[in-house]
Chain A
Amino acid sequence: MALTSKSVLIRRPDGARFLARILQWALLLVAFAGMGISAYLSFVHFNGVPLYCESTGGCHTVQASEYATLLGVPVALLGFVLYAGIFTAGLVSIRGSGWPAQAAPFLVFALALSGVLYSSYLTWLELYRIHAICAWCVASASLLAVLLATASAELVVSGRLSEDRGEAMPAE
């Protein structure tokens, strides 16, 4: 019988199961919001439409700087790929089956962690190299921090960090 995320066996209290599900859905929501922001910024980059920016114009400075692209790829596009990856892995962890469904939450965690680390670096660049702050970038960094916290909480609450083979979500 196939091992699904639903049929795995560690006994978890009802409350933990419920909380884990809430966290998984919250993760999808936040990742989706992140996809929206990064898609917008990527669109602005490729189409040259004006960026909706607050009065001091920090967004424009940051988006025009050399740091807004990495090897010619807009950082916003990299962000979109990251958020889409998190979203997809999140879906797999809820609806998937077999080992992908078990591995997915760890992938979400890894992506969120690398996202938080890299956006910290980008924030440092804003402060010490570009000398301007872009509100969109701050928003994205915040979303990634929320994603990391949510992913970490989910790993703990769902019992995936317990001994047996990462199996965690109990039968529903």
Chain B
Amino acid sequence: MPKRRTKKSRKPAGSPLLRRLTRGPTVLAVAVVGAIAGFVVLVAVSVMTTGDDKIERIQDISAEGRSRGSDTAPVTIITFGDFQCPMCKRFAETTGNQIEAEYIANDLVRLEYRNMAFLGAESVWAAEAAQCATDQDKFWEYHDKLFEKQAAENSGALSGDRLKRFAGELGLNQEAFDECLDSHRHQQLVLDETEAGQEAGVTSTPWAFVNGETVKGAQPFADFQRVIDEQLEEAAKAQ
């Protein structure tokens, strides 16, 4: 190959094959294919490593005594609530009851209550108290009572004394309950559950995972219905 070439008479060097392979359009095609391949790999990794783990991490914490509905129900709803949250109160007293009547009673849905105790110290105490009630198999009654007595956040409405009084009013063993609450027996569970929820993406309450699909906020019953029905369909297909 001559070493000197003038500008005007230059010819591209290299074999005909190399010249073909390094033509602009060919290189572009390689670039496009490479980009798409890289993208596919990244998405595949992303899809394989995310998704359902978050629900498993939540369910590693036992919700025994805090769920309603058949264990064999095809759809599980995990609801996160804070006892100081007004929208959670609304959800519990409206949509929650409708879900109970339409789906839980018919063995279609199992609902778990989980703590997202993030609105302040009283949120955590109330959650601990509800856990102490769970020890005496009275979670749901205590849950209803807490929402009934809800007032302004961290205003003393859910102070230790009042929490203990609620237990008395519901007929719980006062001594056992007080001991449980004073010793903060369930504080770690409440904190762990709150953290597991946050890791799963919960940032506000109420928050629900319907077979893993998020429903954020105190949505009207119709919205929940749509999502539940979709999940029921999918579950039926999978069988």
Contacts and interface: CB of A to CB of B under 8 A. Distances in A.
A107 interface: yes
B35 A166 contact: no
Contacts of B31: 106-107, 109-110, 113
B168 interface: no
A160 B24 CA distance: 6
A168 interface: yes
A99 B19 CA distance: 12
Contacts of B12: 164-165, 167
B80 to A, nearest CB: 14
Contacts of A130: 201
Contact of A67 (B27, B46, B214, B216): B46
Nearest to B31: A110
Given A57-B203, A130-B201, A161 B28 contact: yes
Contact of A161 (B25, B45, B200, B216): B25
A49 interface: no
Given A64-B198, A106-B28, A70 B36 contact: no
A110 B35 contact: yes
Interface in B11-46: 12, 14, 19, 22-25, 27-28, 30-32, 34-36, 38-39, 42-43, 45-46
Give the size range of A's interface with the partner: 35 or more
Given A1-B4, A165-B22, A118 B50 contact: no
A163 interface: yes
28 contacts: A1-B4, A7-B7, A9-B7, A64-B201, A64-B203, A66-B53, A66-B54, A66-B199, A71-B45, A106-B28, A106-B30, A107-B31, A109-B28, A110-B35, A113-B32, A114-B38, A114-B39, A118-B43, A121-B42, A129-B214, A161-B25, A163-B23, A163-B24, A165-B12, A165-B19, A165-B23, A166-B24, A167-B12
Interface of B: 4-5, 7, 10, 12, 14, 19, 22-25, 27-28, 30-32, 34-36, 38-39, 42-43, 45-46, 49-50, 53-54, 198-201, 203, 214, 216
Given A64-B201, A70-B49, A106-B28, A9 B23 contact: no
